[in-house]
Chains A and B, each alone.
Chain A
Amino acid sequence: MALPLQYLKAARWPGLVILIALIIRLQPWLQTVLIYNREAILEGEIWRLTTGHLVHFSSTQLFLDGAVFGVTAYIIESRRYPYLHELYLFSAVVISMLMLWLLPDMAYYGGLSGIAMATTTYLALHGLRESAPWRKLSTFVLVLIIVKMSMELSNEHLIFVDYENDAIATVSLSHLSGVVCAWIVYIWSDRINILINLKAGKLN
């Protein structure tokens, strides 16, 4: 059974992001060039602020981050919630900037999980406006996010991430800032919509 075009269209962007992350995972030289590297960023290699999120330290990390991001971004695309691409870019830059500012001891960072948290939150926030079953699921996901964030913040520095070859510290700041970014874009998209509607004279 051939997939309808609308599904392929919805999968286009999330699929591209995951594909790029996969290619980077398979090419170590790309990881060196694209990883969030604090020193390099401060020397002017600012592309790393966005590309760092596409670098993963292990296949497990890539699988989990990629799957959560892929599923949530696909649903957002297929339900046509606005400003998803703005959310990608905004959260990628804001997460990296906050890490640059607040985590001066962290030399390297990699992972799509911050953006995945942003897309998950964004999807759940939009879902609150939908009809009953969808709204209930969205509420459940938001509760889940709150639980995860509370656990991460209360166990700050205590979670070892056993990736394949290296000692990677869990950075809860990236998740927290991803959630905040989603909330900001959600509020902002609402305001923009109100302005657009006002301009068009659709609101009283």
Chain B
Amino acid sequence: MSPLRKYTLTIILAIFMVATGGCATQSRYYSSSVDYLYPGKTEPVESPTIPVMKIPMKVGIAFVPDAGWQSRGTSFWHGAAGNSGSERGLGLTENQKTELMQKVGGYFRKYPYIGSIEVIPSAYLIAKGSFTNLDQIRTMYGIDGIVLLSYDQVQFTDEGASSFLYWTIIGAYLVPGEKNTTQTMMDAVVYDIKSHKMLFRAPGLSQVKGSATPVNLSEELRKNGETGFDLASQDMITNLDTQLSLFKEKIKQAPQEYKIINRPGYTGGGNIGWWFGFILILAGTATIWRYHYNT
């Protein structure tokens, strides 16, 4: 082999190795309740009035429109990050959104003070629609409050040390040198539509780590993305439980901030209450025992 050919081959190999190794990409898919409710406002200032909540409440649940995706970095094997975002499964499909809304909605339904929960299709929410859009939905569905779901999923892909084996070509099929991390945040924010008052919010977080060969990277990212959403939504549901309990306490502690009224046709019941009942039962039983003992 002539020295020229030798050098040429070395340079090609070096370029190939550099091109196939040490690349990092980052993709982000997200939607934002703030962008939807307060579009174009750098400092969202809203003066909510006192919410009048009719118990049992009629609540809607919807995903705020997607804000889009962002990507950074390129890779020899899978091009610019996010170029094939939909194929990779970043973001949520309409079916996935509906499934998730039904899951969260089912969770709300177990609370006695939630009368009904309506799943609102994403098509009904206009990007940057703000409260004008929510008022339209309120009229259409006859709801009082709305649970707005949003998400933020970021996927990082780094190539590990073993990725130098990709230059063997077969390594690209066998060596899982693509290390990826999927971080997902889901957020549920509950608003009283009429008063524009945020009642409470509950976030859910998840982190999924994995590795893949360059060839099955998109499939792996899609799976991790779905797992990320599942885990984050479970975390969000757990936090919702805590936030609902805290909200009930908040209403009792700050009655000037919320007005609760009963919806016509409500059911009423006597409630002796644990502390009152316990003291009376204890005092009464002690009295009966003492009275009988003395006689």
Contacts and interface: CB of A to CB of B under 8 A. Distances in A.
A116 B284 CA distance: 13
Given A7-B292, A160-B113, A61 B287 contact: no
Contact of A74 (B264, B268, B288): B288
B159 to A, nearest CB: 54
Contacts of B279: 144
A110 B266 CA distance: 12
A165 B274 contact: no
- What is the size category of the interface that chain A forms with chain B? 35 or more
B288 to A, nearest CB: 6
B271 interface: yes
Contact of A144 (B55, B251, B261, B276): B276
B54 to A, nearest CB: 10
B272 to A, nearest CB: 4
A117 B280 CA distance: 11
Contacts of B291: 75, 78
Interface stretch (A41-49, A80-88, A101-109, A185-193): A101-109
Contact of A158 (B56, B260, B284): B260
A113 B280 contact: no
Interface residues of B, number: 37
A153 interface: no
A4 B248 CA distance: 49
A132 to B, nearest CB: 14
Interface in B54-69: 55-56
B287 A113 contact: no
Contacts of A120: 280
Nearest to A111: B270
B118 to A, nearest CB: 17
B292 to A, nearest CB: 7
Contact of B264 (A72, A105, A108, A165): A105
Interface in B170-207: none
A169 B277 contact: no
A68 B263 CA distance: 30
A61 B272 CA distance: 8
A116 B266 contact: no
Contact of A106 (B262, B283, B287, B288): B262
Interface string A108-148: 11111110110010000000000000100100110010001
A162 B112 contact: yes
B122 to A, nearest CB: 29
Contacts of A166: 112, 267
Contact of A71 (B115, B248, B265, B281): B281
Contacts of B112: 160, 162-163, 165-168
A65 B272 contact: yes
Interface stretch (A22-30, A170-178, A195-203): A170-178
A74 B259 CA distance: 40
Given A167-B267, A169-B266, A157 B261 contact: yes
Contacts of B288: 71, 74-75, 78
Interface in B240-295: 248, 251-252, 255, 259-274, 276-277, 279-281, 283-285, 287-288, 291-292
B269 A71 contact: no
Contact of A163 (B55, B252, B269, B274): B269
Interface of B: 55-56, 112-113, 115, 248, 251-252, 255, 259-274, 276-277, 279-281, 283-285, 287-288, 291-292
11 contacts: A61-B270, A71-B281, A105-B262, A106-B262, A109-B268, A113-B272, A120-B280, A144-B279, A160-B248, A168-B112, A170-B268
Interface of A: 7, 56-57, 61, 64-65, 67-68, 71-72, 74-75, 78, 99, 103, 105-114, 116-117, 120, 134, 137, 140-141, 144, 148, 155, 157-163, 165-171, 174-175
**List of 6 A-B pairs having minimum Cβ-Cβ separation, nearest first:** A113-B270, A111-B270, A71-B284, A171-B268, A167-B112, A168-B269
